[in-house]
Homo-oligomer: A and B are copies of this chain.
Amino acid sequence: MIETMVWSENEEIRTGISTADLKDALTDENRFVWVNIHDEPVESSRKMLMDVFDFHPLAIEDALEETHVPRIDDWGGYLYLVLRIIDREQDFNEEFKTRELDVFINNNYIVTHQEQGNLTIEKVWQLALRNSQHLRSTPAHLLYLILDAAADDFIFAADKIDLIINELEERVFYDPDPKILEVISTLKQGLMSLRQVIAPQREVLNKMARGDYLILEEDSRLYFRDVYDHFHRLYEIIDSLRDLTGSTLEIYLSVVNNRMGNVMKTLTIITTLFMPISFLTGFFGMNFFQPVMGATGWTNFTVFYIVLGIMILLPVGMLIFISRSGWLK
Protein backbone atom coordinates (compact mmCIF):
# COMPACT_ATOMS: atom_id res chain seq x y z
CA MET A 1 0.00 0.00 0.00
CA ILE A 2 1.19 3.48 -0.81
CA GLU A 3 -0.29 6.16 1.41
CA THR A 4 0.17 9.79 0.52
CA MET A 5 -0.36 13.04 2.38
CA VAL A 6 0.09 16.60 1.16
CA TRP A 7 -0.20 19.78 3.18
CA SER A 8 1.16 23.28 3.51
CA GLU A 9 0.95 26.00 6.04
CA ASN A 10 -2.24 27.50 4.59
CA GLU A 11 -3.70 24.35 3.19
CA GLU A 12 -5.59 21.50 4.87
CA ILE A 13 -4.09 18.01 4.89
CA ARG A 14 -5.19 15.95 1.91
CA THR A 15 -4.53 12.23 1.50
CA GLY A 16 -4.82 9.74 -1.35
CA ILE A 17 -3.04 11.99 -3.82
CA SER A 18 -2.55 10.89 -7.42
CA THR A 19 0.97 10.47 -8.73
CA ALA A 20 0.61 13.53 -10.95
CA ASP A 21 -0.54 15.74 -8.07
CA LEU A 22 2.28 14.36 -6.00
CA LYS A 23 4.85 15.38 -8.59
CA ASP A 24 3.23 18.75 -8.67
CA ALA A 25 3.38 19.18 -4.93
CA LEU A 26 7.04 18.22 -4.93
CA THR A 27 7.91 21.11 -7.18
CA ASP A 28 6.30 23.60 -4.80
CA GLU A 29 8.65 24.75 -2.06
CA ASN A 30 5.80 25.60 0.32
CA ARG A 31 4.00 22.28 0.22
CA PHE A 32 4.98 19.23 2.20
CA VAL A 33 4.60 15.60 1.21
CA TRP A 34 4.59 12.37 3.19
CA VAL A 35 4.55 9.10 1.29
CA ASN A 36 4.30 5.97 3.38
CA ILE A 37 4.94 2.66 1.59
CA HIS A 38 4.21 -0.66 3.25
CA ASP A 39 2.97 -4.14 2.33
CA GLU A 40 3.63 -3.15 -1.25
CA PRO A 41 5.23 -5.30 -3.96
CA VAL A 42 8.86 -4.42 -4.62
CA GLU A 43 8.15 -3.42 -8.20
CA SER A 44 5.57 -0.75 -7.58
CA SER A 45 7.59 0.54 -4.61
CA ARG A 46 10.59 0.91 -6.85
CA LYS A 47 8.52 2.65 -9.46
CA MET A 48 7.23 5.20 -6.97
CA LEU A 49 10.70 5.86 -5.54
CA MET A 50 12.28 6.13 -8.93
CA ASP A 51 9.70 7.90 -11.04
CA VAL A 52 8.20 10.32 -8.58
CA PHE A 53 11.16 11.07 -6.35
CA ASP A 54 14.03 10.21 -8.66
CA PHE A 55 16.15 8.76 -5.86
CA HIS A 56 19.52 7.27 -6.66
CA PRO A 57 19.21 3.61 -7.78
CA LEU A 58 21.68 2.49 -5.11
CA ALA A 59 19.65 4.13 -2.37
CA ILE A 60 16.48 2.53 -3.71
CA GLU A 61 18.13 -0.90 -3.73
CA ASP A 62 19.20 -0.38 -0.12
CA ALA A 63 15.65 0.59 0.78
CA LEU A 64 14.04 -2.41 -0.89
CA GLU A 65 16.46 -4.92 0.57
CA GLU A 66 17.02 -5.65 4.24
CA THR A 67 20.18 -3.83 5.33
CA HIS A 68 19.94 -4.45 9.08
CA VAL A 69 22.28 -1.83 10.43
CA PRO A 70 20.92 1.67 11.08
CA ARG A 71 22.84 4.29 9.19
CA ILE A 72 22.45 7.61 7.42
CA ASP A 73 23.60 8.52 3.92
CA ASP A 74 23.73 12.02 2.56
CA TRP A 75 22.73 11.92 -1.12
CA GLY A 76 23.02 15.64 -1.68
CA GLY A 77 19.40 16.65 -2.22
CA TYR A 78 18.02 14.28 0.39
CA LEU A 79 19.04 12.03 3.25
CA TYR A 80 18.55 8.30 3.28
CA LEU A 81 18.14 6.68 6.70
CA VAL A 82 18.02 3.04 7.65
CA LEU A 83 16.34 2.74 11.02
CA ARG A 84 15.15 -0.17 13.05
CA ILE A 85 12.00 -0.15 15.11
CA ILE A 86 10.83 -2.77 17.57
CA ASP A 87 7.66 -4.77 17.52
CA ARG A 88 5.70 -4.19 20.69
CA GLU A 89 3.41 -7.15 20.17
CA GLN A 90 5.87 -9.95 20.74
CA ASP A 91 6.95 -12.41 23.38
CA PHE A 92 10.08 -10.98 24.94
CA ASN A 93 10.93 -14.37 26.42
CA GLU A 94 11.70 -15.40 22.87
CA GLU A 95 14.12 -13.80 20.44
CA PHE A 96 13.20 -10.15 19.92
CA LYS A 97 12.27 -8.96 16.49
CA THR A 98 13.12 -5.56 15.13
CA ARG A 99 11.96 -4.27 11.77
CA GLU A 100 13.63 -2.12 9.21
CA LEU A 101 12.29 1.31 8.42
CA ASP A 102 13.74 3.20 5.47
CA VAL A 103 13.34 6.93 5.33
CA PHE A 104 14.07 9.45 2.55
CA ILE A 105 13.84 12.99 3.76
CA ASN A 106 14.56 16.56 2.82
CA ASN A 107 12.91 19.84 3.74
CA ASN A 108 9.93 19.18 1.47
CA TYR A 109 9.08 15.55 1.72
CA ILE A 110 9.47 12.46 3.80
CA VAL A 111 9.17 8.96 2.37
CA THR A 112 8.87 6.02 4.75
CA HIS A 113 9.14 2.43 3.64
CA GLN A 114 8.58 -0.80 5.58
CA GLU A 115 7.99 -4.31 4.40
CA GLN A 116 5.02 -4.73 6.69
CA GLY A 117 2.68 -2.09 8.01
CA ASN A 118 3.56 -1.12 11.50
CA LEU A 119 1.75 0.48 14.42
CA THR A 120 4.51 2.98 15.16
CA ILE A 121 4.20 4.67 11.78
CA GLU A 122 0.43 4.24 11.78
CA LYS A 123 0.16 6.15 15.05
CA VAL A 124 2.21 9.06 13.76
CA TRP A 125 0.17 9.07 10.55
CA GLN A 126 -3.05 9.33 12.52
CA LEU A 127 -1.52 11.96 14.77
CA ALA A 128 -0.53 13.99 11.74
CA LEU A 129 -4.04 13.71 10.30
CA ARG A 130 -5.89 14.73 13.43
CA ASN A 131 -3.47 17.13 14.91
CA SER A 132 -2.26 19.11 11.95
CA GLN A 133 -2.57 22.35 13.83
CA HIS A 134 -0.48 21.51 16.80
CA LEU A 135 2.11 19.90 14.57
CA ARG A 136 5.05 22.08 13.56
CA SER A 137 4.30 20.82 10.11
CA THR A 138 7.63 19.92 8.50
CA PRO A 139 9.01 16.58 7.33
CA ALA A 140 11.82 16.90 9.89
CA HIS A 141 9.24 17.20 12.63
CA LEU A 142 7.42 14.14 11.35
CA LEU A 143 10.68 12.23 11.37
CA TYR A 144 11.16 13.40 14.93
CA LEU A 145 7.70 12.10 15.86
CA ILE A 146 8.45 8.75 14.25
CA LEU A 147 11.82 8.47 15.99
CA ASP A 148 10.28 9.51 19.27
CA ALA A 149 7.59 6.87 18.91
CA ALA A 150 10.29 4.33 18.01
CA ALA A 151 12.23 5.29 21.15
CA ASP A 152 9.04 4.84 23.16
CA ASP A 153 8.60 1.37 21.71
CA PHE A 154 12.18 0.46 22.60
CA ILE A 155 11.71 1.78 26.13
CA PHE A 156 8.47 -0.20 26.35
CA ALA A 157 10.43 -3.29 25.30
CA ALA A 158 13.18 -2.56 27.82
CA ASP A 159 10.59 -2.24 30.58
CA LYS A 160 9.07 -5.56 29.56
CA ILE A 161 12.47 -7.20 29.65
CA ASP A 162 13.14 -5.60 33.02
CA LEU A 163 9.95 -7.15 34.33
CA ILE A 164 10.92 -10.56 32.97
CA ILE A 165 14.32 -10.33 34.63
CA ASN A 166 12.76 -9.26 37.91
CA GLU A 167 10.43 -12.24 37.78
CA LEU A 168 13.38 -14.48 37.01
CA GLU A 169 15.34 -13.06 39.95
CA GLU A 170 12.53 -13.97 42.28
CA ARG A 171 11.74 -17.32 40.71
CA VAL A 172 15.38 -18.28 41.00
CA PHE A 173 15.06 -18.59 44.76
CA TYR A 174 12.05 -20.85 45.06
CA ASP A 175 12.23 -22.72 41.77
CA PRO A 176 15.75 -22.80 40.24
CA ASP A 177 14.56 -24.70 37.20
CA PRO A 178 17.25 -25.39 34.56
CA LYS A 179 14.88 -23.83 32.03
CA ILE A 180 15.78 -20.49 33.58
CA LEU A 181 19.17 -20.94 31.95
CA GLU A 182 17.61 -20.98 28.51
CA VAL A 183 15.53 -17.91 29.25
CA ILE A 184 18.61 -16.07 30.52
CA SER A 185 20.60 -17.15 27.49
CA THR A 186 17.89 -15.93 25.12
CA LEU A 187 17.59 -12.65 27.01
CA LYS A 188 21.34 -12.09 26.87
CA GLN A 189 21.46 -12.67 23.16
CA GLY A 190 18.43 -10.51 22.65
CA LEU A 191 19.89 -7.65 24.64
CA MET A 192 23.16 -8.00 22.77
CA SER A 193 21.43 -7.72 19.41
CA LEU A 194 19.25 -4.89 20.69
CA ARG A 195 22.42 -3.09 21.66
CA GLN A 196 23.83 -3.60 18.21
CA VAL A 197 20.77 -1.89 16.79
CA ILE A 198 20.60 0.91 19.36
CA ALA A 199 24.27 1.83 19.11
CA PRO A 200 24.31 2.79 15.39
CA GLN A 201 20.82 4.29 15.64
CA ARG A 202 22.07 6.51 18.43
CA GLU A 203 25.01 7.39 16.24
CA VAL A 204 22.65 8.37 13.39
CA LEU A 205 20.77 10.65 15.75
CA ASN A 206 23.98 12.08 17.09
CA LYS A 207 24.98 13.09 13.58
CA MET A 208 21.58 14.67 13.00
CA ALA A 209 21.66 16.49 16.33
CA ARG A 210 25.19 17.68 15.64
CA GLY A 211 23.96 19.33 12.48
CA ASP A 212 26.08 17.32 10.06
CA TYR A 213 23.35 17.57 7.45
CA LEU A 214 22.68 20.98 6.01
CA ILE A 215 19.61 19.73 4.22
CA LEU A 216 17.75 19.73 7.54
CA GLU A 217 16.61 23.03 8.98
CA GLU A 218 18.62 24.34 11.91
CA ASP A 219 15.69 24.11 14.35
CA SER A 220 15.19 20.42 13.91
CA ARG A 221 18.52 19.70 15.57
CA LEU A 222 16.94 20.34 18.96
CA TYR A 223 14.32 17.64 18.40
CA PHE A 224 16.91 15.16 17.28
CA ARG A 225 19.05 16.02 20.30
CA ASP A 226 16.04 15.05 22.39
CA VAL A 227 15.61 11.69 20.68
CA TYR A 228 19.36 11.19 20.82
CA ASP A 229 19.09 11.57 24.62
CA HIS A 230 16.39 8.90 24.64
CA PHE A 231 18.52 6.50 22.65
CA HIS A 232 21.56 7.27 24.73
CA ARG A 233 19.62 6.43 27.88
CA LEU A 234 18.24 3.33 26.17
CA TYR A 235 21.77 2.18 25.48
CA GLU A 236 22.59 2.57 29.16
CA ILE A 237 19.40 0.81 30.24
CA ILE A 238 20.23 -2.10 27.97
CA ASP A 239 23.69 -2.27 29.51
CA SER A 240 22.11 -2.34 32.95
CA LEU A 241 19.75 -5.09 31.84
CA ARG A 242 22.70 -7.10 30.56
CA ASP A 243 24.33 -6.66 33.94
CA LEU A 244 21.12 -7.79 35.59
CA THR A 245 20.85 -10.96 33.48
CA GLY A 246 24.48 -11.66 34.30
CA SER A 247 23.81 -11.21 37.97
CA THR A 248 20.67 -13.36 37.73
CA LEU A 249 22.79 -16.10 36.24
CA GLU A 250 25.24 -15.76 39.11
CA ILE A 251 22.47 -15.91 41.67
CA TYR A 252 20.96 -18.89 39.90
CA LEU A 253 24.30 -20.67 40.01
CA SER A 254 24.64 -19.85 43.70
CA VAL A 255 21.19 -21.22 44.46
CA VAL A 256 21.89 -24.38 42.47
CA ASN A 257 25.21 -24.67 44.28
CA ASN A 258 23.49 -24.32 47.63
CA ARG A 259 21.02 -27.02 46.76
CA MET A 260 23.79 -29.29 45.62
CA GLY A 261 25.50 -28.63 48.95
CA ASN A 262 22.34 -29.74 50.70
CA VAL A 263 22.18 -32.89 48.62
CA MET A 264 25.78 -33.63 49.54
CA LYS A 265 25.01 -33.08 53.20
CA THR A 266 22.11 -35.51 53.03
CA LEU A 267 24.33 -38.09 51.38
CA THR A 268 27.03 -37.57 53.94
CA ILE A 269 24.67 -37.74 56.91
CA ILE A 270 23.04 -40.94 55.64
CA THR A 271 26.44 -42.50 55.03
CA THR A 272 27.80 -41.36 58.37
CA LEU A 273 24.80 -42.72 60.23
CA PHE A 274 24.58 -46.12 58.60
CA MET A 275 28.13 -47.09 57.72
CA PRO A 276 29.32 -47.66 61.31
CA ILE A 277 26.29 -49.64 62.40
CA SER A 278 26.27 -51.61 59.17
CA PHE A 279 29.86 -52.52 59.94
CA LEU A 280 28.68 -53.68 63.33
CA THR A 281 26.06 -55.98 61.84
CA GLY A 282 28.72 -57.34 59.54
CA PHE A 283 31.00 -57.90 62.48
CA PHE A 284 28.49 -60.04 64.29
CA GLY A 285 27.62 -61.83 61.10
CA MET A 286 31.09 -63.31 60.76
CA ASN A 287 31.57 -67.04 61.12
CA PHE A 288 33.78 -66.74 64.18
CA PHE A 289 31.06 -67.10 66.72
CA GLN A 290 28.85 -69.90 67.82
CA PRO A 291 28.21 -72.44 66.52
CA VAL A 292 31.59 -72.39 64.72
CA MET A 293 33.92 -71.26 67.48
CA GLY A 294 33.24 -71.63 71.15
CA ALA A 295 33.29 -67.85 71.62
CA THR A 296 30.16 -67.89 73.69
CA GLY A 297 31.05 -64.62 75.34
CA TRP A 298 30.34 -62.73 72.07
CA THR A 299 26.91 -64.03 71.30
CA ASN A 300 24.85 -63.96 74.44
CA PHE A 301 21.90 -61.71 75.21
CA THR A 302 24.00 -59.15 77.11
CA VAL A 303 26.17 -58.46 74.10
CA PHE A 304 23.12 -58.46 71.86
CA TYR A 305 21.41 -55.80 73.90
CA ILE A 306 24.60 -53.77 74.09
CA VAL A 307 24.94 -54.00 70.31
CA LEU A 308 21.28 -53.16 69.88
CA GLY A 309 21.76 -50.18 72.14
CA ILE A 310 24.77 -49.00 70.16
CA MET A 311 22.87 -49.37 66.91
CA ILE A 312 20.13 -47.13 68.22
CA LEU A 313 22.11 -44.68 70.29
CA LEU A 314 25.07 -44.18 67.95
CA PRO A 315 23.07 -42.71 65.01
CA VAL A 316 20.77 -40.80 67.32
CA GLY A 317 23.75 -39.37 69.18
CA MET A 318 25.47 -38.50 65.92
CA LEU A 319 22.33 -36.77 64.62
CA ILE A 320 22.14 -34.73 67.81
CA PHE A 321 25.84 -33.93 67.59
CA ILE A 322 25.53 -32.93 63.93
CA SER A 323 22.53 -30.68 64.41
CA ARG A 324 23.91 -29.08 67.57
CA SER A 325 27.52 -28.54 66.63
CA GLY A 326 26.69 -27.26 63.21
CA TRP A 327 29.42 -29.65 62.12
CA LEU A 328 27.88 -30.16 58.71
CA LYS A 329 26.25 -26.78 58.34
Q: Which residues of A contact B (CB under 8 A)?
A: 69, 71, 166, 169, 172-173, 178, 181-182, 184-185, 188-189, 192, 195-196, 199-200, 229, 233, 236-237, 240, 243-244, 246-247, 249-261, 263-268, 270-272, 274-279, 281-293, 295, 298-301, 303-304, 307, 311, 328-329
Contacts and interface: CB of A to CB of B under 8 A. Distances in A.
Contact of A282 (B282, B304, B328): B282
Contacts of A192: 240, 243-244
A87 B290 CA distance: 79
A251 to B, nearest CB: 5
Given A240-B195, A255-B178, A260-B261, A267 B271 contact: yes
Given A254-B181, A275-B271, A263 B328 contact: yes
The majority secondary structure among interface residues of chain A is: helix
Contacts of A263: 261, 264-265, 268, 328
A84 to B, nearest CB: 14
A48 B84 CA distance: 42
A169 B71 CA distance: 29
Nearest to A172: B185
A61 B329 CA distance: 51
8 contacts: A192-B244, A196-B236, A196-B240, A263-B265, A264-B264, A267-B271, A271-B271, A288-B303
A300 B291 contact: no
- A188, A254, A255, A298: most-surrounded residue (chain B CB, <10 A): A254
B173 A189 contact: no
A287 B266 CA distance: 31
A295 B284 contact: no
A306 to B, nearest CB: 11
B287 A247 contact: no
